[in-house]
Amino acid sequence: MNKILLAEVLLWIANDPDEKDRGELERLLETDDERELRTRFTSPLHFGTAGLRGPEMAGPSGMNRATVSRATQGVVAWLEVTGVDLGRGVVVGRDARHGSEKFNDEVVAVLLGAGVRVFEMPEPLPTPFVPYVVKSLGLSAGIMVTASHNPPRDNGYKLYDQSGSQIIAPSDEIVEGFMASASTPRRGERSGDLYSVVDPAVLDGYARHMVARFGVDSSDLAITYTPLHGVGGAVMAKLFAAAGYADVAFVEAQFAPDGDFPTLPFPNPEEPGALDLAIAQADAANSTLVIANDPDADRLGAAVRSVEGWRVLRGDEIGWLLASSLLVGAGPDDVVATSIVSSTLLEAMAKEAKVRYAVALTGFKWISRAAGKGVLRFGYEEALGFAVDPLVADKDGMSAALALCQLAHELARAGQTLLDRLDEIECHFGVHAGAQLSIRVDHPGGLGVIARKVDALRATPPTSLGGLEVTGVVDLALGAFGLSPTEGVLLELGERGRVVVRPSGTEAKLKAYIEVTSTPVSTTDLARERDDAAQQLARVRDDLAALLAL
């Protein structure tokens, strides 16, 4: 076995606090499984689009107690060198995934051992509560153990700074630098004065605020809700009731938290079929609206009943709907923002409403900061992430659900639906058809394969896609539109749309985001224009699939 690799493995084992993980690595040494050890030691987890995220397994490439310990030591050192007052404390939360409780315990122990005041969530709760508590209590930072919508084998570690936003460079680089030199920490106990559980009154403050803003007096809106086996169920049940919605059916098979996600191939409301059980329940309950949260309740999915059947809304469509409501009454300090891979329609809506618009890199760690010194009135990304209230400096599927239901309720009172509002938007601003191409790579070295494919596209871009001329090529790695450099390539299709190709920041995927647009259309021409756009979209997608095949 390679001597350098052997030394790395032995050093890791010496500092690994978990007996099971140590035994796992020792068995790989005993069987001389160098290939598997390289898989676990060659590419340590790093802070991507949404923090650390990876499969639960021993070694620096996996989520385990040792990785969590090192990350938490890195957090303490980062706070110290950046001059943040550690005495203000750090909030620690977790979802209900496999491993989340033990990783949460490791975070708490390492923080207490370092003399940091800890506020621990009382139970597995939705991710948005962590950034909310950071801002509400004025804390130094927040840590959330979650892998959001990833497959069951994964877990993760999200880090929020004192603003309540997820960390960006150089903070992530500083934390990772200290992670690399971390060793065996001192671990503290929950019995000391530094430890406390987050007061339920603090979390009640979230509910009071969101219900006051997005609640209704009383609604006949018939809703079916699913948390997709996550931690949003009990919280959303209380929020719906407090917000005035009495006719809510719950998908019982998906209501209780379950880290196996037994009814879903992937616990992501974006995935085809993810809402099938909810739609079946909605049919049985005669609901007109389906609302879904992902397992940590920071994303929102929705489907609407129409005369043709159920229509699952794209993230961009939910974004337009929410914007049509939230842009009303916006003030001079307000900003709306979306990501570079989301629809361009929000910019046109903001311009007409005379509200400042900002575009951000992919991920809410960027969107939440896009307002600068202004106030982020609304931010969204096409991957079902929505920020509808500045009380939470991150995407929040719970408050977004209330905001969407409020709009649906108001439209219903006027004899309209959410689909009617979408028709109005696209007639006025033009059809904006969107689609994704996602190529998953599950074998070792997949991230390298994806990187080489992006490099090849950058070096030799196509001249046309789906019969549309590629009129411009933007290398996002060089920085563009005033944004920081990021991996990806944007292909401009003149006035007909654009394509963005980038590696996923949370999974081993190559992703392409396609948008085909039209000029404003009449109500009578809308269906035809949508059909034309859908066909053009399919042609572009087919060409991309051939171009990006791995």
Domain boundary among 159, 181, 198: 198
Tokens of 506: 């949370």
- The SS3 of residue 337 is strand
Same structural domain, 414 and 462: no
pLDDT at residue number 196: 98
Q: Specify the CATH number for the domain of residue 472.
A: 3.30.310
From residue 527, give the alpha-carbon distance in Å to each of 417, 429, 516, 536. Answer: 17, 15, 15, 14
* Sheet bearing 154-160, strands edge to edge: 52-55, 154-160, 141-145, 90-94, 118-120, 195-197
Which stretch of DSSP H or E encloses residue 427?
helix 418-429
Distance CA 417, CA 423 (A): 10
pLDDT tens digit string along 132-162? 999 999 999 999 999 999 999 999 999 999 9
pLDDT tens digit string along 36-81? 999 999 889 999 878 999 999 999 999 999 999 999 999 999 999 9
pLDDT at 18 over 70: yes
Same structural domain, 262 and 189: no
Q: What is the largest CA-CA distance in the chain?
A: 73
From residue 546, give the alpha-carbon distance in Å to each of 63, 459, 540. Answer: 34, 17, 10
Same structural domain, 256 and 114: no
Q: How much is the average pLDDT of 231-240? A: 98
Same structural domain, 173 and 246: no
Which residues are CB-neighbours of 456 under 8 A, at least 6 positions away?
Answer: none
Same structural domain, 249 and 372: yes
- The SS3 of residue 237 is helix
pLDDT tens digit string along 360-403? 999 999 999 999 999 999 999 999 999 999 999 999 999 999 99
pLDDT tens digit string along 299-338? 999 999 999 999 999 999 999 999 999 999 888 899 999 9
Domain boundary among 141, 171, 198: 198
Number of structural domains in the chain: 3
Q: How confident is the model at residue 298 (pLDDT cuts 50, 70, 90)?
A: very high
Structural domain boundaries enclosing 209? 204-427
pLDDT at residue number 20: 96
Same structural domain, 517 and 386: no
Domain boundary among 376, 405, 427: 427
Place of tokens 């959330």: 144
pLDDT at residue number 71: 98
Same structural domain, 177 and 77: yes
Same structural domain, 249 and 328: yes
Q: Specify the CATH number for the domain of residue 242.
A: 3.40.120.10
Phi-psi region of 363 (alpha: psi -120 to 50; beta: other; left: phi over 0): left
Distance CA 55, CA 62 (A): 5
Same structural domain, 395 and 380: yes
Place of tokens 């290398």: 475
pLDDT at residue number 505: 66
Do the beta carbons of residue 118 and residue 89 sit within 8 Å? Answer: yes
As annotated, the active-site residues are 148
Same structural domain, 222 and 307: yes
pLDDT at residue number 507: 67
Same structural domain, 155 and 242: no
pLDDT at residue number 442: 72
Same structural domain, 136 and 172: yes
